[in-house]
Structures are given as C-alpha cells and as structure tokens.
Structure 1
Amino acid sequence: MTQTVETLFDEGLERYKAGEDPELLIPVFKEVCDRAPKTSSAWTCLSWLYLLTEKPGKAYDTAQKAVKLNPQDPQARVNLSLAMLEAGKKGVREHIELTQQIIMVAAELREEVEHNIQDGLVRKPGWKSLERVKAWLFD
C-alpha cells in the first residue's frame, strides 16, 4: 500500500528529528515534492537537506521553488540565502531583509528559524554561511 504524502512527509520529519543522515532522507522528500509539487514545506525541507549535504546548486533550485510557493516562509528564504552564499550568487541581502521583517512580526516563526539555525550548526559544525546568516538575523 502506498503511503499518503502527509504520512511520508511526517515520517521523514520524524526520522530527521531522530538524527538520521540527511543523505538518506533526500529521496523521501524528493518523493513528497514529486507527489505534491505545490507543498512549499516539502521543498523547504529538501533544500535544507541539500544544504546539509554540500549540494548548494540543488539547494538553490529547491529553495527558489519553496519561496515562489510561499514568499512569507522565513525558513525558505533562509535556505535560499544559504544556497546563494554557498554558490557565490548575488542578491542575498534582499532575502535576509525580508526574513528580518517576517520574523520581527511573527514570534513563532522567529523561534522556528532560531531553532533550525541551532540545529544546522549542530549537524554541520563550523558552517560559515549559516553563522553569517545567524549574525545578520539575530545579532
């Protein structure tokens, strides 16, 4: 029996939270994106996994889709900013400024972004681009 997209997504998130290797989760979130291409949260998760596994080009493409689907998602914009920094692309400031505006008015989104940044620094210690984004958003 085929899993629903929601079940697949939720199980992928639980596996991530349990500390599973991001490389192993990429196919799960790719399937979710293939089956539900308008689900911005799936694209956001997939771009994060690509960032954690040193694939900035793929992270950039997937983060762009996430931002296009949900321009008000600060995590999607953080991921896009990170992918741009990692790939040496210009235009990061615009996404950082929009993220700052969003998290300024939405405390729960601010907390989520802070939590995700801390998680990223634990999973990928010394991640220079993420340290820069953290400083821009919270220092």
Structure 2
Amino acid sequence: MTPFLNEEGMRWALRVFAEAPPGVERHLVLRNRQRVYGLLHAHHDEFRALGVSLFDYWVPSPSGSGYETFHAKVVLADAEFAYLGSANFIRYLCSSVEMGVLLEGLPVLAVAETVAAAKEISEKFSV
C-alpha cells in the first residue's frame, strides 16, 4: 500500500511479490492510478505472471469537496508480520532517511484490518 510509486519502487515491489511463496495473495493498493498508469501498463505482464491484484484508493470525500486518500506505506506479509512507515515506493526509497517499524503478532491484525478496509472501498482494476 503506497500513495507514491515510480519505476525503482515498482521494481522493488515486484521483487517482493516474486519472492512470496506460491499461494500467497499479492495486492498493490495505490492512490490515483491515473498518475502512474503508464508505469503500471509497462509492467502488465509481470503483474499478470505474479497474479498481483491492483486497487485504486481514490474515493470522494463525504463532504463532497475533494477526495479521501491515505498516506500510509504498508507492506503486509501475512497476519504475523508487517512494515508500517514513511518510505514511499519511489527512487529515494533506499537513499533517504525514512522511519518505519516492523510489526509482529497482535499489532499486525490492526494493520491487516486497515488494509482490508482500504481495499473494500477501493476500485479493483487491471492494466
């Protein structure tokens, strides 16, 4: 789950998806897919081969003035492990000072529930 994505971040995410064992669901939740549609389309074959489901979290604000979004960056491995932090999936991911935590056990359930809720109100799409 990331609001920002570029080519370097995409390659990193695809490596993470590729290293997941068979049978593991692979989901990528983005914000405003139109901003990165060309990048997503360029990696269409990789998404399909890995079975990655894409979600666009870009919903109208309840007030009607703009949209609701997220700023969280999450890598949810399963119901046991998760990363939650500030590192965007962009070029500077490996060279900027970011902050994050690796969570294990019970706190991961809250992260998993939040990601599930975001996916529930997101638009699933394909490229």
Same fold (TM over 0.5): no
Higher relative contact order (CA 8 A, sep 6+): 2
TM score, norm. by length of structure 2: 0.29
Larger strand share, 1 or 2 = 2
Larger helix share, 1 or 2 = 1
TM score, norm. by length of structure 1: 0.27
